[in-house]
Amino acid sequence: MASTIEVVNESAGKGSGRPGSPVHWVGQRQHRLGRLAAYGGLVLCVLLIGLPVYWMIIGAFKTPQEVYQVPPTWFPLQPTLANFPKAWDSAPFGRYYINSFVVTLSGSAFEVFFAAVSAYAFAFLRFPGKRWVFLSLLAALMVPAQVTIFPNYLTIAGLKWINTYQGIVIPGASVAYGTFLLRQYYRTLPREIMDAAHVDGASHIRILSSVVVPLAKPAIVSFALLSIVAKWNEFLWPLIVTNTKEMRVLPIGIYWLMVEEGTIDWGVVMAGTIFVVLPVLLVFLYAQRYIVDGIAAGAVKG
């Protein structure tokens, strides 16, 4: 009887997940195939995103003849730095940089401030019509930005803000997406911390600044990065609301660089594009550590 039980257990063990068993071998194979598919998807994403960036970089160092060469070269045969001073001198990039920095920093600061404050109200305060106001906010998310250009322009023109910084910044000083994003993140924060702050006599402003904002730093920094990139790359609204070169921003400068060149010198255009991309890249490299630190801190405190 004992020998029969041992035979049954041995036969059952052969089909289990023990090392060397068929089930274990199949599981390992599936795991490897899954990892291979994940790495393949990652490589594909890197190629789709990285190839245009790589083409822009190498194009900035190519001569005009090499840019139009067929078949194209994947590395500059005769690298040159002449495109960069030519691009800088072809348009007032110094002024464009100042305008872009002013518009981006002030616009993003307004967006983050209004999003953080209004999200706190939706997440933690009680007031009449709160649900309907939030539904209106969700409805605003469905309205394309292009629909608001005409009424915004009439408003700015009525205020005599055409061709001014406030005319560029104020219409986009607040977006519904930021409020919705931070409100959803605020709702995941432990309510006990807010209740303890209330018991200690802290006001709503103190709770927001000392409790909610530090805990929600990953979401706030992420939204700030999205806002900075959107403001920095904004083209249509600054083009409509400005009418002089002195008030243009960098994306419009790249467009006029292409127009004024007549026959497009793509090396110069790519060099000018690097002027636009580089500051945003540096900001992201600097700010991403705050996102990682915030996520890690939240996981530890969990």
What gap in Å lies between CA 231 and CA 168, rounded to an integer?
10
What is the three-state SS of 97-145?
Answer: HHHHHHHHHHHHHHHHHHHHHHHHHHHHCCCCCHHHHHHHHHHHHCCCH
pLDDT value for 5 = 44
Proportion of the chain above pLDDT 70, given as a percent: 85
The pLDDT confidence band at residue 99, using thresholds 50, 70 and 90, is very high
- Nearest CA-CA partner of 116 in 189, 194, 202, 185: 185
The pLDDT confidence band at residue 292, using thresholds 50, 70 and 90, is low
Query: What does each C-alpha distance from 152 to 78, 103, 263, 288 come to in angstroms?
Result: 49, 17, 36, 34
Enter the pTM of the model: 0.77
What gap in Å lies between CA 199 and CA 235, rounded to an integer?
49
pLDDT value for 72 = 81
Residue bearing the bigger pLDDT, 223 or 202 = 223
pLDDT in tens, 267-282: 888 888 888 888 888 8
pLDDT value for 301 = 44
For the ranges 125-129, 130-134, 135-139, 294-298, the lowest mean pLDDT is seen at 294-298
